[in-house]
Amino acid sequence: MSPKQIPKNYKELVVLVKKAGFVLSRQKGSHAIFYHEKGVRITVPNHDKKSLHPKIIKSILRDIERIKN
């Protein structure tokens, strides 16, 4: 995935989350909960192939950036 390409659905976002070092801890219904060893938790909604809301994507990307710094 190129740096300019923003993930749009669950599968694309999970690839990015896993590359950042998050591990799937559990899943409840349609929400997957990922944890990082630094103590950060990310919840990614799994709504099939539907596009995720831009605010959700922005929030998750912000949490990933917080780990990198």
Domains and CATH numbers, the chain: 10-68 (3.30.920.30)
Strand order in the sheet with 41-45: 23-28, 31-35, 41-45
Q: Residue 4: is its pLDDT beyond 50?
A: yes
Residue 25 confidence (pLDDT): 96
Exposed / middle / buried, residue 6 (Cβ in 10 Å: 0-12, 13-18, 19+): middle
pTM, 2 dp: 0.84
Q: Are 33 and 41 in contact (CB under 8 A)?
A: yes
Residue 8 confidence (pLDDT): 86
Question: 13-55, pLDDT tens digit by residue?
Answer: 999 999 999 999 999 999 999 999 999 999 999 987 789 999 9
Q: Residue 3: is its pLDDT beyond 80?
A: no
